Structure 1
């Protein structure tokens, strides 16, 4: 490291002082600085010279943004932001102020992060939620899905225009027709509109409840999350191996709380009558028709039933 004496001696070097003056003049003659002066003629050159470091930062970061290497490789001091100069008059004198401003890429990333924070998933592949959605592809992949897809679109539009109701959707169809994908699309679109949502893959959720039940606090937090989110999706309901406790004290409690408050959505390979038969049977107690009907009373009146037809799209982009 140079000593203070060496720094002072270098300042006495005529060639170095001349180079410093040349750099300063080049900066003052830069088109961006000239444009700033044209917009604010009250900024005379002596005042600009008081803020050479700000002008340098402004020009350098503008150059970086013009040759943007992407957000992850942003060379600016504050990643995803650039220096923006403003002129304000204080005590009758104009002065130059700098503030860091988020670029378009940063704003877009923050918006996506905000959307992701509104969505939680339990046992659902995050790639399905974050893979991106193309409405033309959703509609055009299989024409037989058109009726169901249009109803999903209509539901999303209705919520955006009129707000949430307690009415959800029961989307049923054969394997691989895109039920989960369409529900994730609905969840994403309404998260963009500001609603929170949770999607739960039922077979893994019910299986995991066996361990969660031993942790009372975690169980309460999980159930409260599913009760209180704006949008709740039970994905692949009917494929789980039910036990009486999970059916009656967890699933039943969640649905009982939500049924007149917030919408619940379902994907299933079963139509509603098939789901009722499934919910009436548990691995421990066998068939209990009354309990299955009791749960269906908290499902059927609060959903629009949408059959989804089409080919098995597993392994292809849906």
Structure 2
């Protein structure tokens, strides 16, 4: 809702002498406003005549200042421009005092813009968006289950290392049973490193693989998705090993993404499997030597490029 201007207020006053008196009272009150006193202290050259010439500016300044002092929240901002307030300044040009105004973004708007920018750096595929914005803090994960302290420490160390030294070549492989917070830890890492300017994507593997099968004949959409996963700074495959994999997805999609990223950008994984069990999953069956070889080949693009993090502890699902 736009702020009422001084002119609009004056229009609402009754006609005749009473209106003049009320208008003069309004202007006298404005001249005596403590905020105007502060303005005069900052700009000693500011006289009554200049204030009267700029009454609308001064009124808007005092009104918006008090709106901000009693801020009802960004979504209910009563100022003319949401998340902005008026600043006044004076300068003397050829002996004449001139007043000018400008809009300044408030802290709440700047915080929202910063959060929006951080969120824009992170993409999720088939992962509940709430996982990226809700959950425990890293401290809470440790305090709620001390068994996880080592895993949390490894992730926090990884975040610090990247913040200090730049994008790492190695990623992390979070192995642990269902519901121990692996996905949250990775979302926490994405959010913290997005603050440092890094882009990231998290992909829920079971749904991703099913969707890929339907995209086999939509090459444009498939290429766009694969290219994003190749190029993003931080890529997380969530719940890897739970997907119903087929040779085409394994060799031509996952293989292509990992082949591109190795030695370039770090890739991360969460899984209920350890690395050896994941290799068996990728090999499908030991009866077929070729499949075994291709499973090993994919693991050659994972195993050397990750630090394993064992996430132990109690199942936290449904108790957060």
What's the TM-score bracket when you normalise by the shorter of the two chains?
over 0.9
- Of 194, 203, 207 in structure 2, the residue corresponding to residue 204 of structure 1 is 207
- Of 297, 303, 311 in structure 2, the residue corresponding to residue 294 of structure 1 is 297
Q: Are 1:185 and 2:183 an aligned pair?
A: no
Residues 1-318 of structure 1 correspond to what in structure 2 (within 5 A)? 13-91=16-94, 93-131=96-134, 133-281=136-284, 288-317=291-320
The answer as to whether partners of 2:84 and 2:103 remain within 8 angstroms in 1 is yes
Query: Quick check: 237-246 or 94-103, which moved more?
Result: 94-103
Divergent runs of 4+, >6 A: none
The answer as to whether partners of 1:195 and 1:230 remain within 8 angstroms in 2 is yes
Quote the RMSD (CA, aligned, Å). Answer: 1.9
The Cα of 1:86 is off from its aligned counterpart by 2.1
CA distance in 2, matches of 1:46, 1:165: 64
**What corresponds to 1:3 in structure 2?**
none
Note the alpha carbon deviations across 1:149-189, whole angstroms, 9 max, x for none: 00000000011111112110000001111100100000110
Gaps of 5+ in 1: 1-6
Q: 1:88 to 1:114 in 2, by over 3 A?
A: farther
Note the alpha carbon deviations across 1:21-68, whole angstroms, 9 max, x for none: 111111111010110001110111111111111111111111111211
The answer as to whether partners of 1:133 and 1:185 remain within 8 angstroms in 2 is no
- State the SS of the aligned residue for 2:25: helix
The Cα of 1:95 is off from its aligned counterpart by 2.1
- State the SS of the aligned residue for 1:306: strand
The Cα of 1:143 is off from its aligned counterpart by 0.5
CA distance in 2, matches of 1:93, 1:224: 61
The answer as to whether partners of 2:138 and 2:185 remain within 8 angstroms in 1 is no
- State the SS of the aligned residue for 1:288: helix
